Chain A
């Protein structure tokens, strides 16, 4: 798809990632990372056309209920059980420009902390009307929104008594494959956040705060659903004022 825009085409390389802001690969308190973390330095290279470009997805692929997890797996006339919430926000780049046409995919446990997955054996019950996946695409201003039930915390076999905070997983595509990002959103005021080894993989508290969505009272729909606001920032890209021209262009 092509975007109608009077801006210069986006062909600049992306800003280098601040790898001290992100979690390092090896974070021993999160035990699985010990054998799944590269030990050698990453090979660094200014972005090439292979990473500057990336797939974009048309709004036409989005079904009517794709961004409504309360309804998209529910039997007719029924709905998922749990606290009804709206999660919404904007996808921006590091230069604070809206990222339009960004595909967001979400997944989460149900209100009791149970995932609908064959490898999940937690004793909390499956909700027959809740699947746990959704997706949407940002509008021209970078906005997105979806409706769901607030997930519950759940225990996991890491330490003897480790529990994940309530969280929603996010997968985001910007305009270049170098922007590809998967992260997790947490909820304002949850005391579990500060006990979690996966949260603690992130070294800087300010970076962790960036994953915590505040209650957005203004967007709450009376008698229906509370709202939480979660903005996402993807890598910015250099403008192409003085880029070397490729031979043959």
Chain B
């Protein structure tokens, strides 16, 4: 019989405490190698859509804020299209990268992204997913990057029928994925562990 052979995925390892050296060298005062750190500018003057800031902090199981982690986000543009060759439904806004990278502050632990509010995108069965931003978190002590999403507090109607949120059995946990709006800023706290633990995804 033939073997249904596949290669095995390279196993993940922690990004460690010095992830900034590789991914945001200018942030940790290594200047002159790259002009700018990758992922710091998602928008420009011509980007379409509503300008927002997504900010947040990451807490460990003792409710201590992480000051050495790295967050990346990936999202659709204001019309719901991704700036990716795998996006075949339409053409994404050329003035929007859709991807950002930000280390959490060594002082107060905040990460923040100046971005735009994404449009809704379809789930595979044709239902609409509520507007959301995908987050990926790495840090010392995290062996494999954690995926989650940030939904928006002012999209209650869309959130109520979002195919992913509907799959959360413990309904009280839905709230852990909702970023709270205040002016043009949405804030979300990520809890790695404990009673307020964020819903993380295997996706």
User: What is A's interface to B at a CB cutoff of 8 Å?
Assistant: 1-3, 9-11, 15-19, 21-25, 27, 30, 32-40, 42-56, 61, 63, 65-66, 72-73, 92-96, 105-107, 115-120, 131-135, 169, 171, 175-178, 180-184, 198-199, 201-202, 206-208, 210-211, 232-236, 243-244, 246-249
Give Cα A32–Cα B142 distance, bound, in whole angstroms: 8
Partner of B6, one of A3, A55, A133, A236: A236
B52-92 Cβ-contact flags toward A at 8 Å (1 or 0): 00000000111010101000101110000011111111000
Q: Once the chains bind, are A33 and B33 in contact (CB under 8 Å)?
A: no
B99 at the interface (CB under 8 A from A): yes
Question: Given the complex, which residues of A lie within 8 Å of B8, measured CB to CB?
Answer: 18, 21, 94, 206-207, 210, 233
Interface size class of B (residues with CB under 8 A): 35 or more
Further 9 A-B residue pairs, CB within 8 A, beyond A211-B13, A246-B122: A36-B142, A48-B123, A48-B129, A55-B84, A116-B28, A201-B14, A207-B8, A208-B11, A246-B89
Q: Once the chains bind, are B129 and A42 in contact (CB under 8 Å)?
A: no
Contacts between chains A and B (CB distance < 8 A), count: 287
Question: Given the complex, which residues of B lie within 8 Å of A119, measured CB to CB?
Answer: 17-18, 68, 106
Q: Once the chains bind, are B197 and A38 in contact (CB under 8 Å)?
A: yes
| A120-B18 CB under 8 A given contacts A46-B124, A180-B145, A234-B10 | yes
Name the distance in Å between B113's Cβ and chain A's nearest Cβ: 14
Give Cα A17–Cα B122 distance, bound, in whole angstroms: 23
B21 at the interface (CB under 8 A from A): yes
B1-39 Cβ-contact flags toward A at 8 Å (1 or 0): 000001111111111111111110100111011110010
Question: Given the complex, which residues of B lie within 8 Å of A47, measured CB to CB?
Answer: 203
| A233-B199 CB under 8 A given contacts A35-B193, A246-B89 | no
| A37-B193 CB under 8 A given contacts A50-B129, A54-B86 | yes
| A210-B16 CB under 8 A given contacts A37-B192, A45-B167, A246-B124 | no
Q: Once the chains bind, are A182 and B99 in contact (CB under 8 Å)?
A: no
Q: Once the chains bind, are A63 and B34 in contact (CB under 8 Å)?
A: yes
Q: Once the chains bind, are A180 and B72 in contact (CB under 8 Å)?
A: yes
Question: Given the complex, which residues of A lie within 8 Å of B32, measured CB to CB?
Answer: 73, 131
Give Cα A7–Cα B142 distance, bound, in whole angstroms: 36
Q: Quick one: which of B97, B134, B203 has the most chain A CB within 10 A?
A: B203
SS class of chain A's interface: helix, strand, loop or mixed?
Answer: loop
List the 9 shortest-distance A-B pairs measured between CB atoms, nearest first: A107-B22, A32-B141, A36-B141, A53-B84, A55-B99, A247-B126, A23-B143, A42-B202, A53-B82
Question: Given the complex, which residues of A lie within 8 Å of B66, measured CB to CB?
Answer: 36
- Provide 12 A-B residue pairs closer than 8 Å at the C-beta atoms, listed in order of the A residue: A9-B88, A17-B9, A22-B9, A30-B143, A35-B141, A36-B140, A48-B203, A54-B86, A169-B16, A169-B19, A210-B8, A233-B7
Q: Once the chains bind, are A55 and B85 in contact (CB under 8 Å)?
A: no
Question: Given the complex, which residues of B lie within 8 Å of A30, measured CB to CB?
Answer: 14, 141, 143
Closest to A203 in B: B11
Q: Once the chains bind, are A115 and B21 in contact (CB under 8 Å)?
A: yes
Give Cα A246–Cα B127 distance, bound, in whole angstroms: 9
Question: Given the complex, which residues of A lie within 8 Å of B18, measured CB to CB?
Answer: 107, 115, 117, 119-120, 169
Give Cα A66–Cα B13 distance, bound, in whole angstroms: 23
Partner of A36, one of B85, B123, B139: B139
Name the distance in Å between A140's Cβ and chain B's nearest Cβ: 14
Give Cα A19–Cα B8 distance, bound, in whole angstroms: 11
| A177-B13 CB under 8 A given contacts A48-B164, A133-B33 | no
Q: Once the chains bind, are B84 and A43 in contact (CB under 8 Å)?
A: no
Question: Given the complex, which residues of B lie within 8 Å of A93, measured CB to CB?
Answer: 7
B121 at the interface (CB under 8 A from A): yes
